[in-house]
Chain A
Amino acid sequence: MVTSKTSVSVLFAGDSGDGMQLTGTQFAETVAVYGTDLNTFPNFPSEIRAPAGTISGVSGFQLQFGSKAVYTPGAKFDVMIAMNAAALKANLKNLHHGGIIIANTDGFDAKNLRLAGYGEENNPLENGTVKDYSVFEIPVVTLTREALADTGLSTKNIDRCKNMFVLGILYWLYSLPIETTIETLRTKFRKKADVAEANIKAVKAGYNFGDETEMFSQHGRYSVAPAEKKPGVYRRVTGNEASAIGLTAAAKKAGLKLFLGSYPITPASEILQTLSGLKKWGVKTFQAEDEIAGVLTSIGASYGGALAATNTSGPGLALKAEGLGLAMILEVPLVVVNVQRGGPSTGLPTKPEQSDLFIAMFGRHGDAPVPVIAATSPVDCFYSAYEAAKIAVEYMTPVICLTDGYLALSSEPMLIPTPDDLASISPKFAKERKADDPPYLPYKRDERGVRKWAMPGTPGLEHRIGGLEKQHETGHVSHDPENHALMTRLRAEKVERVADIVPDLEIDNGPEKGDLLVLGWGSTYGAIKIAVEQALQGGCSVAHAHLRYLNPFPKNLGEILGNYKKVLMPENNSGQLIHLIRDKFQIEPVGFSKVQGLPFNEMEIEAKITDILKEL
């Protein structure tokens, strides 16, 4: 018996050392190649190895795959793999009523029960805790050991394959092919054939176990048909990978060399890591001694004519503030990819939040506006980084590109663009000056208020600039009051003019005029999209618009806001964008905050929509 489903959300949960991230990634790879749409979200502790068996050591990987478009990892999951008692305890509340639990009974022994806080005599599998769910109790470690007994590997190494056994069961349960994983294991363990074969054997053993055991005979299997997707070649990207590739693609397209000065910080480090592996594309990464050096090395490289970028997260953005002001007054291009996380201070370093909007907008001394873009999905991290680079180069300004821990680590399929699909990026360099030419003016502006980039090494353009206020056009140091006012205005106007290339905001879903507009920004896109879709199906007069360009705003934003009786603004912060909207458009939107280090889920937003519409 095979039941067909349109979408399924799965959570792999176990101890930090159980390989749950790898298992989830493998499952994602398989469903992607199989052709469903998907969205993944890893959730792990900030400690590298919190005490084994405890709640704080639980590592999770959630994904949703479906035969229609999937925008989130699922508000709740349909099936949970619990490798131990702590994993069950930490996640049971988010399992759909009646959902499936695959429990590794070897992880529910006396010790694990005690560490999970259940007590040795209080096994949740036996005491009624899970009576409302379909529970499959499988001694995964024992079965893996049996299956791999003849491999000659040590017990320790055999036990490491237990996650692959579970993966095999899942492949059977959801009628998925195991070939993708087999290929990946062969590539991953190219130099350790015995490890590769043992893992493959474990996957097969798990799959066969599903087939042969009586356990599932009553319950049956499921299948999720491939999604109807735009034809083309796809790859899977996480937000951080996409940001890194976006920067590199922008440099290629602009004919520039990419330089990244950076200091590792969670959850932004993969951008530095990915770029440090792209030497074949001429990318130069500089792992600086601190965040300040990260931004300053980039400013130096930008002055030298490179496409320079730096990546960071909240606390790092604070340290880069003075450097950003320097880049702004120098008027050199610079991309800052800031992967937001829970704050303030060290806050929740592995958990997502959207609370760096204010520091991105205002976190500099003096009048120092910079363009700000926010990515709306893992794939959009590619396009946001790319567009940030385009704006930086074409407007000679630092640009902040906001992503967050949710997008950074989540993955989804990306339709691979061709180079021609990507917008052109045209740096304007000052040209070599001959003896009879008029004096070179480093701060002479074009009609958009943009100065030209002068490459050191070009004869005749020798000039000196710095953080001191510059005289209009000549760039000489000037303390003249009128000149300072003029330069402040010219710099701000230049940033405002970026609005000329910002596309008009479009209604993502719902009527052009109506009762309620849900206005979001950044990574809340998926949750809002589904919530609005469902509310529309329920007959509500509600629409969804989502902001990628936060400074400057799209030119038609005011008009759109005026088309609805109320505006609801969900944010993963205490309400930062709402200040900007209120200030600029003199309206009173309804704020909706979630600051739990967790992304919104669609149910929360849908409930809020319903509440507001009731009061209208």
Chain B
Amino acid sequence: MTDTLSKLTAKDFTSDQEPKWCPGCGDHAVLQQLKNTMADLGLKTEDVVVVSGIGCSSRLPYYVATYGVHGIHGRALAMASGLKTARPELSVWVATGDGDALSIGGNHYIHTIRRNLDMNVILFNNEIYGLTKGQYSPTSKVGLKTVTSPNGVVDYPMNTVALTLGSGGTFVARVLDRDGKFMREVFKRAAEHRGTSVVEIYQNCPIYNDGAFDVFTDRERKADTTIYLEQDQPLIFGAEKNKGIKLDGFMPVIVDLKDSSVSLDDLWIHDEKDKLKANILAGFFDDPDTTENCLPRPLGIFYVEDRFTYEDALDQQIAQAQADGEGSLEELLAGKSTWTIK
């Protein structure tokens, strides 16, 4: 039981079920930050529902001491959409993976995003199918050798951020499982956003795809391969903060800040309200291992838009229809046209 007067802590959001994820799995870190965020937001455990589909990450609801439903493969977003439509006052969170959300549930993904119900989607992307033991996923890199791609993957990988923006996403962010504090900040912003927020997490699977994101997380390489997006700040990256990005027309160009001809004023200033720029940023999708001088992979909040939510619009229509009072059962049964037999 929780005392609703005092603020809850992450511990209050911890269920009595022990997480059954592999040691070293990135999911542990996400779970911790999720619970921290719920506590940070001052949520009450009874007002939260965590919904999931199938996959390793989709076991998450069992480990959070709120209400939770673990559904069927790919359908978490549909289930959450129905729940949120019926009960707009609940805080609804969806835990889903790259296979669950983007492959079997791809159709629900694009339609949920465009409807913009006020829900938070935590999308664990480990570029592999973990629970089914190591088949490639829609985000796996070309050439990845797996049990179903012994000669290397020939499917071109899906770009989650670009897909989400293209589907009309109103909050789109990407974080790394190892950036705990940063993840917590982004989660909080996501939760505070009214609309469907998507946070894609690059999450390491130590068993079937270990090191998939090392290029973005290794201490030596991280500074050159990633760029952290900060509102109103210029796009600067590199170990010595020596590289910047400027726009040449619509073309992003890496510039050397040591070059005396380059001024800080020339750099691209991040604006999370700018959809055009968010789309260009989404295109920073090169693989640093195979592309020379590639653009850094952006982390943080790409885009935020204030747009009406589905449940609010529906509730408004209902309120309008009920302006003169709710319909009675008698009125419903009678319909519009009746006659009497005596």
A residues at B contact (CB < 8 Å): 29, 32-33, 35, 229-237, 241, 245, 248-249, 252-253, 257, 259, 261, 278-282, 284, 286, 288-290, 292-293, 296-306, 308, 322-323, 326, 330, 416-419, 433-435, 454, 456-468, 476-477
CA distance A465 to B15 in the complex (A): 13
Contact with A along B151-175 (1 / 0, CB 8 A): 0000000000000000000000000
Pair count A-B, CB < 8 A: 211
Q: Which interface class (under 10, 10 to 19, 20 to 34, 35 or more) fits B?
A: 35 or more
A259 touches B329 (CB 8 A): no
Contacts of B72 in A (CB 8 A): 296, 322-323, 326, 467
Chain B residues 65-92 with CB under 8 Å of chain A are: 65-72, 75, 78-87, 89-90
Given the known interface contacts A282-B322, A465-B70, the answer about A417 and B78 at a Cβ–Cβ threshold of 8 Å is no
**Shortest distance from the beta carbon of A293 to any chain B beta carbon, whole Å:** 4
Q: Top 10 A-B pairs ranked by shortest CB distance? A: A466-B70, A297-B82, A300-B82, A300-B83, A296-B78, A301-B86, A464-B68, A279-B321, A300-B79, A293-B78
B341 touches A308 (CB 8 A): no
Given the known interface contacts A281-B332, A456-B67, the answer about A304 and B90 at a Cβ–Cβ threshold of 8 Å is yes
Given the known interface contacts A288-B78, A289-B107, A467-B72, the answer about A306 and B86 at a Cβ–Cβ threshold of 8 Å is yes
A466 touches B71 (CB 8 A): yes
B333 touches A249 (CB 8 A): yes
B residues at A contact (CB < 8 Å): 1-2, 4, 15, 17, 44-47, 49-52, 54, 61-62, 64-72, 75, 78-87, 89-90, 107-108, 110-111, 314, 317-318, 320-322, 326-327, 329-330, 332-335, 337-342
A296 touches B67 (CB 8 A): no
**Shortest distance from the beta carbon of B285 to any chain A beta carbon, whole Å:** 26
**Shortest distance from the beta carbon of A309 to any chain B beta carbon, whole Å:** 11
CA distance A463 to B46 in the complex (A): 9
B111 touches A289 (CB 8 A): yes
B61 touches A297 (CB 8 A): no
B68 touches A231 (CB 8 A): no
Contacts of B314 in A (CB 8 A): 284
CA distance A46 to B54 in the complex (A): 38
B69 touches A249 (CB 8 A): no
**Shortest distance from the beta carbon of B53 to any chain A beta carbon, whole Å:** 10
A465 touches B69 (CB 8 A): yes
Contacts of B46 in A (CB 8 A): 456-462
A416 touches B334 (CB 8 A): yes
Chain B, Cβ-Cβ closest to A34? B339
CA distance A303 to B327 in the complex (A): 25
CA distance A419 to B334 in the complex (A): 11
Chain B, Cβ-Cβ closest to A226? B341
CA distance A29 to B339 in the complex (A): 10
CA distance A461 to B52 in the complex (A): 19
B86 touches A308 (CB 8 A): yes
CA distance A235 to B330 in the complex (A): 13
Given the known interface contacts A232-B340, A286-B85, the answer about A456 and B49 at a Cβ–Cβ threshold of 8 Å is yes
CA distance A234 to B320 in the complex (A): 29
B333 touches A330 (CB 8 A): no
B329 touches A253 (CB 8 A): yes
**Shortest distance from the beta carbon of B207 to any chain A beta carbon, whole Å:** 20
Q: What are 22 A-to-B residue pairs whose CB atoms are below 8 Å?
A: A232-B341, A233-B339, A234-B339, A249-B332, A278-B327, A282-B327, A290-B107, A296-B78, A300-B82, A305-B87, A308-B82, A416-B334, A418-B330, A419-B333, A435-B1, A456-B49, A458-B46, A460-B46, A463-B68, A464-B50, A466-B62, A466-B71
**Shortest distance from the beta carbon of A465 to any chain B beta carbon, whole Å:** 6
CA distance A50 to B337 in the complex (A): 33
